[in-house]
Amino acid sequence: MSDFWSGYIAIITIANILACLWLIKWASKKRNDEAAQGDVTGHKWDDDLEEYNNPLPRWWLWLFYLTILFGFIYLALYPGLGNFKGKLGWSQTGQYEDEIKYANKTYDPIFAQYAKQDIATLAKDSNATKIGQRLFLNHCATCHASDAGGARGFPNLTDNDWIWGGDANNIKTTILDGRVGAMPPWEAVIGEQGVKDVTQYVISLSGRQHDAAMAKAGKAQYDVMCVACHGANGKGNTAIGAPNLTDNVWLYGASTGSIVQSIAKGRTGVMPANRDFLGEDKAHLLTAYIYSLSNK
């Protein structure tokens, strides 16, 4: 914030508090033209509801004065006047960092103990998976849902269909370092009819009803354009995040229109890296929980 805006904010803030003080003093001042105390002022509502000329209670006015005093003390100790940081030097960032330090000091030894055990063992430990579940609900449920069932474009973590591999090490790598999956668009290369033909062939791979003639034409296109990633049999490749097309599990939807969209326009999926945010030990417990969901 520039010095100009900092000064502007400070002046406006102090001026408003002083204006409130003046207003209270002005409103409580006795005037010569006022009616005597206890007399009606002439203001009437609903036929018989009249306003009397009675002063505000002194204790009530003193509450206003104390509030204004509190405001000046607060602004002297804490941020509130532009760039002035207050005598105590408090900031929400500093408080957050202090709380994180306290939490790390308290809980890191617990996570460190669990990190010494292998993930398959932790997946059978109810206490470990409860902690892992809380980590999941705090950091992963927004995308993958609270039950880890996923949503359109966000994988289901409770089944055995894994784009990048479902063993413990692959899951942990995904959590720590993230993943970027890209399906290139093919409409400009194979044309609108080619997209439809390949769609029918892809549908046939999972045993669904399809147009046999279009699927036959689509296979020829598939063998040239798609085989490098998804394999000759459509089983995919977890090393590069190419999905299995034979299991009838569809990340972006199973309808013909959704598959056409994927082939024609492409897809891009991003799993963010959490190494710096969670750290190795927390990721270890989170991996154990996720691993337990698909390995009952």
Q: Which residue has the higher pLDDT, 40 or 63?
A: 63
- The mean predicted confidence, pLDDT, of the chain is 92
Burial class (CB in 10 A: 0-12, 13-18, 19+), 188: exposed
**Backbone dihedral angles phi then psi of residue 243, each to the nearest 5 degrees:** -65, 155
**β partners of residue 268:** 182
Write out pLDDT tens, residues 57-106: 888 889 999 999 999 999 999 999 988 899 999 999 999 999 999 999 99
In which band, very low, low, confident or very high, does the pLDDT at 38 lie, cut at 50, 70 and 90? low
CB 138 within 8 A of CB 289: no
Q: Amino acid identity, residue 79?
A: P
pLDDT of residue 72: 95
Average pLDDT over residues 152-162: 95
**Backbone dihedral angles phi then psi of residue 43, each to the nearest 5 degrees:** -85, 125
Q: Amino acid identity, residue 295?
A: N
Burial class (CB in 10 A: 0-12, 13-18, 19+), 169: exposed
pLDDT of residue 129: 96
CB 282 within 8 A of CB 135: yes
- Domains, the chain, with CATH or none: 3-20+44-90 (no CATH), 106-178+275-294 (1.10.760.10), 181-271 (1.10.760.10)
Q: Which residues contact 253 (CB under 8 A, 6 or more apart)?
A: 152, 259
pTM: predicted TM-score of the whole model, two decimal places = 0.74
pLDDT of residue 35: 53
In which band, very low, low, confident or very high, does the pLDDT at 26 lie, cut at 50, 70 and 90? confident
pLDDT of residue 44: 78
Tokens encoding 207: 């045993």
Average pLDDT over residues 134-142: 97
At residue 190, does pLDDT exceed 80?
A: yes
At residue 206, does pLDDT exceed 70?
A: yes
Write out pLDDT tens, residues 265-290: 999 999 999 999 999 999 999 999 99
Cα distance between residue 53 and residue 39, in whole Å: 6
pLDDT of residue 90: 92
Nearest to 269 by CA among 181, 178, 185: 181
